[in-house]
Amino acid sequence: MVRVGVIGYGYWGPNLVRNFFETPGAQVVRVSDKRLDRLKQVQARYPTIRVSEGHRELLQDPEVDAVAIATPVCTHFELAMQAIAAGKHVLVEKPMASTAAEATKLIEAAEAAGRTLMVDHTFVYTGAVRKVRQLVDDGSLGDIYYYDSARVNLGLFQHDVNVLWDLAVHDLSIMDYVLPYRPVAVSATGVNHVSGGKENIAFLTLFFDSPVIAHMHVNWLAPVKIRRTLIGASRKMIVYDDMEQSEKIKVYDKGITVNQQVNREKLYEIMVGYRMGDMTAPQLDISEALRVEASHFVECIEKKQRPITDGEAGLRVVSVLEAASQSMRMRGHPVELPPARRG
């Protein structure tokens, strides 16, 4: 039995509490939040859970084995370091930290302490994303050509981070999981329309050591909600539309065939042919992603396994976000990414 404490009961915290509450092998024993009204909500719904205003009581509680951190981004590093220092396993909200340097320190601290460190890249645990990963892994798609996502909405303007850190973080974590390649450079553009605010619309291109390209498109100020990813490849192509109620994944047996031939004028000519086949929408596992993720966290702690979304995955995502923000300030000037330490 893993006894879980949750720090932060704002937007996401209630989902963490509910899912750990119903996960076999886990028990939610404590919640902390600075806001008294939030704690009252916890008590009304879960009279068995202890609450406290400060996170310190929670971290010092010997009955807490693992901590889930669902607070603003700028506090992730400090809280996660304290939790590791207190001997707790840690599940931290995405993005894992505010800088790659912080993320690296967290990884090192968790390794030194022998604690499980996992990042809450929730989408990785959806049936849809796991199906995409499977189609990439089993060769159904062939060679990957591009990864292209849009995630726009009339969304909550964040105060402490720009739209890349709030929305592109989802796409970066999904791409990190499904693609077998690591990006080497990034070019990003974006602007802010609120005086004194952060960029609320942004576009990000990732370059790889191959003709693969990735692009992400995020926006807090759109009149409609779009969450769509296209994956182009040599054998099949995918449209992943998260706004579809069912049929979130469509696999198209479409593409091009390339032939080179010598034409009448004795010149090399590239002939592009087009394949047009069936589309299939595979049946997906519809388990709630956070439930799957909570079980995985529990299992990793108990079996001392490395989580799918471990600290390294979190670091890779934060590294791109950091470089992209830098590129964005230079109107798209490309920025090299540090070589991944491993993975």
User: What does the alpha-carbon distance between residue 294 and residue 20 come to, in Å, rounded to a whole number?
Assistant: 6
| Residue 85 vs 154, nearer CB to a copy of itself | 154
At 26, is the secondary structure helix, strand, or coil? Answer: strand
Phi, psi of 194 (to 5 degrees): -115, 115
In contact, 39 and 14? CB cutoff 8 Å: no
Q: Whole-number minimum distance, CB 64 to a copy of itself, in Å?
A: 21
User: What does the alpha-carbon distance between residue 317 and residue 97 come to, in Å, rounded to a whole number?
Assistant: 10
Task: Pick one of 160, 330, 340, 343: the residue that binds a copy of itself (CB under 8 A).
Answer: 330
User: What does the alpha-carbon distance between residue 91 and residue 113 come to, in Å, rounded to a whole number?
Assistant: 15
Task: Pick one of 125, 165, 177, 203: the residue that binds a copy of itself (CB under 8 A).
Answer: 203
Phi, psi of 144 (to 5 degrees): -75, 135
Task: Pick one of 87, 211, 338, 343: the residue that binds a copy of itself (CB under 8 A).
Answer: 211
Task: Pick one of 36, 112, 267, 270: the residue that binds a copy of itself (CB under 8 A).
Answer: 270
Q: How many residues bind to a copy of itself according to rule CB under 8 A?
A: 72
Piece of the chain touching a copy of itself by CB under 8 A; list 7-15, 97-105, 116-124, 152-160: 152-160
Q: Is the dihedral of CA 53, 57, 58, 64 positive or negative?
A: negative
Phi, psi of 307 (to 5 degrees): -65, 155
Q: Whole-number minimum distance, CB 52 to a copy of itself, in Å?
A: 20
Piece of the chain touching a copy of itself by CB under 8 A; list 3-11, 73-81, 149-157, 308-316: 149-157
Under the binding rule (CB under 8 A), the answer on residue 1 touching a copy of itself is: no
Under the binding rule (CB under 8 A), the answer on residue 272 touching a copy of itself is: yes
| Residue 52 vs 192, nearer CB to a copy of itself | 192
Per-position DSSP letters for 67-109, written without gaps between them: EEE-S-HHHHHHHHHHHHHTT-EEEEESS--SSHHHHHHHHHH
List, in order, residues 6 or more apart from 311 with CB less than 8 Å away.
Answer: 96, 103, 106, 107, 110, 117, 118, 119
Q: Whole-number minimum distance, CB 161 to a copy of itself, in Å?
A: 14
Task: Pick one of 276, 303, 339, 342: the residue that binds a copy of itself (CB under 8 A).
Answer: 276
Per-position DSSP letters for 154-214, written without gaps between them: E-PPPSSS-HIIIIIHHHHHHHHHH-S----EEEEEEE--STT----EEEEEEEESEEEEE
Name residues contacting a copy of itself, limited to 160-189 (CB under 8 A): 185, 187, 189
Under the binding rule (CB under 8 A), the answer on residue 232 touching a copy of itself is: yes
| Residue 54 vs 197, nearer CB to a copy of itself | 197
User: What does the alpha-carbon distance between residue 226 and residue 239 come to, in Å, rounded to a whole number?
Assistant: 13
Task: Write the interaction track for a copy of itself spanning residues 64-103; mark x where CB under 8 A is met and - where it is not.
Answer: ----------------------------------------
Strand-pair category, 66-69 with 2-7:
parallel
Under the binding rule (CB under 8 A), the answer on residue 24 touching a copy of itself is: no
Piece of the chain touching a copy of itself by CB under 8 A; list 40-48, 62-70, 134-142, 298-306: 40-48
Angle at 104 (CA atoms; ends 73, 338), nearest 5 degrees = 105
Name residues contacting a copy of itself, limited to 279-298 (CB under 8 A): 279-283
Piece of the chain touching a copy of itself by CB under 8 A; list 61-69, 102-110, 204-212, 309-317: 204-212
Under the binding rule (CB under 8 A), the answer on residue 191 touching a copy of itself is: yes
In contact, 148 and 229? CB cutoff 8 Å: yes
Under the binding rule (CB under 8 A), the answer on residue 333 touching a copy of itself is: yes
| Residue 246 vs 266, nearer CB to a copy of itself | 246
